[in-house]
């Protein structure tokens, strides 16, 4: 049997224990009732332990499919599916405020002090790091990555100091970072501008918070710097805030982040998201935010807003719907499927959404019906997004404007609108 202690930042004693039983099954069990909140809606605080299915569904989502995981598997002879064995080596730096460590090791994560716990990155070194992230999707060979991140782009977790400089945690200190730096491949450098623009639009047209972004660098070495919303900076102290993605909250493994990969009894869907919103601190507010954000993602051509790109954040006993993040014009990528991450009514492609699909989607989220006020709100959002098209010209913005025009044209009927969409010359297709 392997037993690991599970900590939340700020707790001196483990709040739970993750075990690999002699049978090979995994189990999670809370060690105390005195916790500010559960680690997941799918793992409520209780005396009994959780079985292998429930345990894996949460903890599998803490493991990234990256080079570090591959190295640990090869070095220690571990199977890809040995969740507990892998976390014994990788769990000190799990995403967010949670950490998983060998029994008796003590807490792995502590708050950081901006004046003592971070090493500033020299401007020339930052360019070297960004170039390596661009070309190899990892840090330079002679530099260590203190906080590995998931994703297809090169990413680095960094901290912004009070004087504006970026910094890395000092070696041996597992203190929080405050920002994520994303650097795409050179051939995809336009993604920096596109994501920044779309995040700005999303923040403008709907009320729910959107992660703050800014562009750093220039030319063919540029990146998107994203402020982490799961951090709190109080004076010079930085603390992590626990969050979980929708896969974890729904008790789904990472392979089920798309509705199409699940089963009606276990899948990421509008109805499942509606049930999650019912468990948040402000259900009506969260449900409205999710509905509005889903429409904005559709209008902006982000068909990849899967379960791991939605989150819940714990500022109290009940979670809140986390800010939106990772909003990109996926329909411009011809190399991926554009099937929706979750169905809108019976529609699986954005071009197929009709009035009855939108109405069913609203009911699936937990509304009784589409009221006139709710319809008016959705129509206003669509009109506000379409109003941005005329200003989208030039090499950076034009393609985003074309995407919005195409997506809005497909949603006009569903919304009961004549959006007066400006004519564009790029043909965008969401179908193979």
Lowest average pLDDT, out of 50-54, 196-200, 331-335, goes to 331-335
Burial per residue of 275-300, b for 16 or more beta-carbon CB atoms within 10 angstroms, e otherwise? ebbeebbebeebbbbbbbbbbbbbbb
Rounded Cα distance between 64 and 80, Å, is 11
In this predicted model, which residue has the larger pLDDT, 195 or 424? 195
Q: Give the model confidence (pLDDT) of 3-12 as tens digits.
A: 999 999 988 9
Comparison of pLDDT for 421 and 55, the residue scoring more: 55
61 compared with 335, residue with greater pLDDT: 61
Distance between CA 173 and CA 2 in Å, rounded?
A: 26
Lookup: tokens for 201? 């639009």
* CB-CB neighbours of 380 under 10 Å: 14
Report residue 432's pLDDT band, with 50, 70 and 90 as the boundaries.
low
Percent of the chain with pLDDT over 70: 95
For 224-282, write each residue's pLDDT tens digit: 999 999 999 999 999 999 999 999 999 999 999 999 999 999 999 999 999 999 999 99
Q: From CA 143, how far away is CA 337, in angstroms rounded?
A: 36
pLDDT of residue 425: 77
Average pLDDT over residues 365-383: 96
Residue 404 — pLDDT band, cuts 50, 70, 90?
very high
Predicted confidence band of residue 75 (pLDDT cuts 50, 70, 90): confident
- How many Cα atoms sit within 13 Å of 167 on the Cβ side? 23
Name the one residue in this structure whose structure tokens are 């700005």: 200
How far is 305 from 310, CA to CA, in rounded Å?
A: 7
**Confidence (pTM):** 0.93
Would you kindly state where each structural domain of the chain is located, as residue ranges? Answer: 2-102, 112-231, 242-415
Mean pLDDT of the chain: 92
What proportion of the chain, given as a percentage, has pLDDT over 90? 80
H helices within 334-393, ranges in order? 355-364, 372-386
Burial-class residue 58 by CB neighbours within 10 Å (0-12, 13-18, 19+).
buried
- Please tell me the least confidently modeled range out of 65-74, 76-85, 305-314, 419-428: 65-74
E-strand stretches of 128-212: 154-160, 166-169, 179-183
> Cα(400)–Cα(12) distance, rounded to whole angstroms?
48
The DSSP 8-state label assigned to residue 329 in this structure reads -
Longest dimension (CA), the chain: 65
Nearest to 132, CA basis, from 142, 146, 122? 142
Which residues contact residue 100 at a Cβ distance below 8 angstroms, ignoring those fewer than 6 apart? 4, 5, 6, 7, 18, 59, 62, 87, 88, 91, 92, 94
| Cα dihedral 118, 124, 128, 133 in deg (nearest 10) | 60
Whose CA is closest to 380, among 303, 321, 305, 292?
292
Q: Which CATH architecture has domain 242-415?
A: Orthogonal Bundle (1.10)
User: The tokens of 390 are what?
Assistant: 């005329």
pLDDT at 152 (0 to 100): 47
Query: Which residues sit opposite 169 in a β-bridge?
Result: 118
Residue 356, helix vs strand vs coil: helix
Residue 112: phi and psi, rounded to 5, are -110, 155
Give the confidence band of 146 by pLDDT, cuts at 50, 70, 90: low
Q: What is the per-residue pLDDT for 172?
A: 86
Q: Minimal CA–CA distance to 430: which of 353, 326, 345? A: 353
Structure tokens at 72: 């640990």
Distance CA 10, CA 150 (A): 24
Q: What are phi and psi of 219, to 5 degrees?
A: 60, -135
The CB density around residue 247, as the number of other CB atoms within 10 Å, is 25
Count CA atoms within 13 Å of residue 304 on its CB side: 14
Contact 262, 343 (CB under 8 A): no
């Amino acid at each position: 049997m392997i037993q690991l202690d599970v900590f939340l930042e700020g707790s001196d004693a483990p709040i739970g224990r993750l075990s690999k039983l002699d049978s090979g099954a995994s189990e999670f069990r809370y060690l105390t009732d005195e916790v500010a909140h559960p680690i997941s809606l799918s793992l409520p605080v209780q005396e009994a332990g959780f079985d292998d299915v429930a345990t894996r569904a949460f903890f599998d989502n803490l493991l990234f499919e990256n080079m570090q995981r591959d190295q640990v598997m090869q070095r220690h002879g571990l199977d890809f599916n040995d969740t507990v064995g892998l976390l014994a080596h990788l769990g000190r730096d799990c995403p967010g405020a949670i950490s998983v460590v060998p029994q008796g090791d003590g807490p792995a994560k502590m708050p950081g002090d901006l004046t003592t716990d971070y090493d500033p990155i020299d401007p020339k070194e930052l360019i070297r790091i960004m170039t390596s992230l661009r070309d190899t999707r990892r840090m330079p060979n002679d530099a260590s990555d203190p906080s590995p991140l998931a994703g297809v782009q090169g990413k680095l977790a960094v901290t912004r100091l009070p004087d504006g400089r970026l910094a890395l945690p000092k070696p041996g200190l597992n203190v929080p970072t405050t920002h994520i730096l994303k650097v795409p491949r050179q051939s995809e450098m336009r993604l920096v501008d596109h994501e920044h623009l779309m995040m700005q639009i999303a923040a403008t047209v709907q009320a729910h918070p959107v992660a703050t972004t800014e562009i750093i660098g220039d030319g063919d070495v540029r990146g998107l710097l994203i402020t982490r919303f799961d951090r709190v900076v109080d004076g010079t102290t930085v603390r992590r805030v626990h969050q979980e993605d929708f896969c974890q909250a729904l008790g789904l493994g990472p392979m089920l982040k798309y509705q199409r990969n699940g089963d009606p009894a276990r899948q990421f869907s509008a109805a499942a998201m509606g049930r999650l919103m019912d468990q948040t601190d402000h259900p009506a507010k969260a449900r409205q935010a999710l509905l509005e954000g889903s429409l904005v993602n559709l209008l902006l051509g982000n068909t990849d807003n899967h379960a791991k790109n939605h989150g819940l954040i714990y500022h109290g006993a009940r979670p809140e719907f986390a800010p939106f993040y990772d909003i990109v014009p996926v329909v411009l990528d011809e190399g991926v499927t554009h099937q929706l991450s979750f169905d809108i009514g019976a529609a699986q492609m954005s071009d197929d959404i009709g009035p009855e699909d939108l109405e069913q989607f609203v009911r699936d989220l937990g509304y009784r019906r589409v009221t006139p006020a709710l319809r008016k709100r959705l129509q206003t959002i669509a009109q506000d997004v379409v109003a941005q098209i005329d200003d989208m010209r030039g090499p950076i913005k034009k393609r985003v404007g074309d995407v919005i025009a195409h997506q809005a044209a497909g949603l006009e009927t569903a919304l009961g609108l004549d959006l007066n969409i400006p004519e564009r010359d790029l043909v965008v297709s969401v179908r193979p």
